[in-house]
Structure 1
Amino acid sequence: MFSLSHPDHYIPILIFLLIAIGFGAVSLLVGRLIRPNNPYRDKDAPYECGVPPINDARERISIRYYVIAMLFLVFDVEVVFLYPWAVDFRRLGLFGLVEMLIFLVILIVGYVYAWKKEALEWE
């Protein structure tokens, strides 16, 4: 049983914490000392895929962008659940098949709902 009455148990954690903080600090310091420092206007300009920036970076983005991103993540993560099921399909048998069919029906209903609400339209 681990108890708080033995502070010597915390010494390895303290040493690890000090090494981690020290490594980060030393890395940043060495990087600052050896890197070249010659800023100029083009180097300090924002970079957008090789194209000069057109608008202000704080421009509002349509909510549709975020909705499509969230839908992509939801459906992508849901599909990840298919892999373990496929690996263990023989052991799960008919119960696993019915369970996965219910899962897929729910997933397809969600996809059709998003499609009918035109959440996937990009305009």
Structure 2
Amino acid sequence: MQSNLYDFVPILMQVAFSVVFVFATIFISNYLGPKHRSSKKNQNFECGIESIGDARTPFAVKYFLVAILFVLFDIEIIFMYPWAINFKTIGISGLLKMGGFISLLLVGYLYIVKRKALEWEK
């Protein structure tokens, strides 16, 4: 079965429509929208609270470490969900492979606990 150029026409039409829609929306909103400029409007808005100090204060490395660890261990759900759905069809082989996967995650978690990466106070 060979595809020809006509098979891609609906996809190309959808892409063209999307691009035209985005640019038309931006142009029309810029053309028809109100243009009231004032110094009060151009100020930063932070929940009604006046800004104090520099906004570029550094965060603690612990914050980024916990965020990265959360993402790392949250990804495991992506791999566990299909396994749980197809548990009956993959049999004992799938159970052993998932057991290896979970044990690898457990080793990583124990390493993190041993290195005290999740403790906030020193």
TM-score tier, shorter chain, comes to: 0.7 to 0.9
Aligned to 2:80: 82
Aligned to 2:107: 109
Aligned to 1:121: 119
Cα deviation, residue 35, structure 1 = 2.2
Alignment partner of 1:60: what SS?
Answer: coil
Aligned residue pairs total 118
Report the identity percentage: 35
Q: Distance in 1 between matches of 2:26 and 2:80?
A: 43
TM alignment of 1:66-77, pairs within 5 A:
66-77=64-75
Structure with the larger RCO, 1 or 2 (CA within 8 Å, 6+ apart): 2
1:93 to 86, 91, 94: 91
1:57 to 42, 49, 55: 55
Cα deviation, residue 44, structure 1 = 3.1
TM alignment of 1:1-80, pairs within 5 A:
19-80=17-78
Cα deviation, residue 26, structure 1 = 1.9
Structure 2: tracts of 5 or more residues without a match? none
Alignment partner of 2:120: what SS?
Answer: coil
Structure 1: tracts of 5 or more residues without a match? none
Coordinate RMSD, CA, aligned: 2.9
Q: Distance in 1 between matches of 2:92 and 2:13?
A: 54
What are the superposed Cα offsets for residues 48-103 of structure 1, whole Å, 9 maximum, x if unpaired?
45543333222222222211111100100112211111111111221111111111
Amino acid at match of 1:25: F
